């Protein structure tokens, strides 16, 4: 039987999802994907019919993989199309945690980083989640200060979890000749512990196919080993591709993540 959301209390609505109460269990909530896509911190916005369903499939396959691996995530199940059952947050952490293997996107604007530069180990950065401020990056010195002032292990834990999840997903995408370039995740506190929350979909990462079958990824710059033009991720939308094309790319991601179930 389908869940009737019209009778359920809406707890929150963001750019891509709506959160509803679960009247049968106060420890979980329903997360429902929307067809909306945004970029530039919500400045660019479109509706792509069918995107919610594709995102739901990608999200399901990735979170089920992570749960099988033993990662601490809010994901419980995907009871019907576009709907995810997740553990309810006790406290949201208003940060986006970004891990990067290869320099691309916003990092190119900050310094002298050249596109395709390979980071080993991966670098992890915290961004304060605030659209009007364009999610500013927090300097490590500032984070060190907060940690000294307030104590606690949340930052250390998010940094460790983000890098671990990155390395795992990087290995898995590599099976399909795709490089995970970078990735953005969100965390929250559930029963006193740091949990991975939110979604992992085509908007959460950059994915570049290998340029050829046996790329040499062990060099300072790997741009020539990869095929950024063949990108599968939300950059297609950021760069102004037609929304049909964007949906096709997101479907390609879902086709790959569907194979994660056999791993
Ligand atoms: N496990 C959870 N429990 C409760 N709320 C959650 C959980 N995971 C995500 N959320 C909330 O879902 C809301 C909608 O998400 P989203 O559409 O991605 O928002 P945003 O536009 O802020 O990125 C956000 O307020 C987010 O904090
Ligand atoms: Mg979001």
State if residue 87 touches ligand 1 by the CB under 6 angstroms criterion.
yes
Residue 144 has pLDDT above 80, yes or no: yes
**Atom 26 of ligand 1: nearest residue by CA position:** 198
Ligand 1 contacts CB of residue 17 (under 6 A) = yes
Residue 149 has pLDDT above 80, yes or no: yes
Structure tokens at 238: 């950021």
Q: Any idea which fold 5-87 has?
A: Phosphorylase Kinase; domain 1 (3.30.200)
In the structure encoding, which two tokens stand for residue 129, read together?
């989640």
**CA separation for the pair 92, 90 (Å, rounded):** 7
Quote the pLDDT of residue 32: 98
Q: What is the pTM assigned to this prediction?
A: 0.96
Could you tell me the residue ranges of all domains in the chain? 5-87, 91-262
Measured from the CB, is residue 45 less than 6 Å from ligand 1?
Answer: no
Nearest ligand to the CA of 42 is 1
Query: Could you identify the residue written with the tokens 């290998």?
Result: 210
For 120, the 3-state DSSP assignment is strand
CA distance linking residue 177 with residue 179, whole number of Å: 7
Q: Which ligand is nearest to the CA of 33?
A: 1
Point out the least confidently predicted range of 47-56, 86-95, 109-118, 121-130: 109-118
Closest CA to 250 of 113, 122, 61: 61
d(CA 118, CA 193): 32
Q: Does residue 16 line the site of ligand 1, with CB under 6 A? A: yes
184 lines ligand 1 (CB under 6 A): no
State the DSSP code for 181.
E
Report the percentage of the chain scoring pLDDT > 90.
Answer: 86
Q: Counting ligands in written order, which one lies closest to the CA of residue 41?
A: 1
Check: CATH 3.30.470.20 for 91-262?
yes
Min mean pLDDT across 10-14, 43-47, 145-149, 246-250 is at 145-149
Residue 91 token pair:
């406290």
Q: What integer is the mean pLDDT of 141-147? A: 87
User: Cα–Cα distance between 230 and 217 in angstroms, integer?
Assistant: 17
Which amino acid residue places its CA nearest to atom 17 of ligand 1?
Answer: 14
Quick check: CB of 32 below 6 Å from ligand 1?
Answer: no
Q: What is the pLDDT of residues 165-202, one digit of tens each?
A: 999 999 999 999 999 999 999 999 999 999 999 999 99
């Amino acid at each position: 039987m389908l869940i009737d959301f019209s009778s359920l209390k809406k707890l929150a609505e963001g750019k891509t999802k709506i959160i509803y109460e679960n009247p049968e269990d106060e420890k979980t909530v329903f997360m429902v994907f929307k067809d909306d896509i945004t970029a530039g911190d919500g400045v660019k916005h479109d509706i792509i019919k069918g995107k919610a369903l594709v995102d739901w499939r990608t999200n399901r396959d990735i979170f089920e993989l992570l749960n099988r691996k033993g990662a601490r995530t809010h994901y419980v199940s995907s009871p019907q199309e576009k709907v995810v059952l997740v553990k309810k947050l006790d406290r949201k952490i208003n940060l986006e945690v970004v891990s990067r293997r290869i320099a691309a996107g916003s990092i190119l604007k900050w310094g002298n980083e050249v596109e395709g530069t390979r980071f080993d180990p991966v670098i992890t950065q915290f961004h304060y989640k605030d659209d009007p401020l364009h999610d500013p990056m927090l300097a490590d010195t500032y984070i060190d200060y907060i940690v000294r002032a307030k104590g606690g292990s949340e930052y250390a834990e998010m940094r460790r979890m983000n890098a671990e999840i990155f390395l795992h997903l990087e290995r898995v995408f590599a099976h399909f000749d795709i490089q995970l370039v970078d990735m953005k995740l969100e965390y929250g506190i559930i029963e006193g512990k740091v949990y991975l929350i939110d979604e992992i979909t085509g908007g959460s990462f950059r994915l570049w196919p290998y340029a050829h079958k046996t790329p040499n990824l062990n060099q300072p710059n790997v741009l020539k080993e990869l095929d950024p033009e063949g990108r599968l991720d939300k950059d297609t939308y950021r760069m102004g591709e037609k929304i049909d094309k964007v949906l096709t790319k997101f479907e390609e991601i879902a086709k790959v993540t569907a194979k994660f179930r056999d791993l």
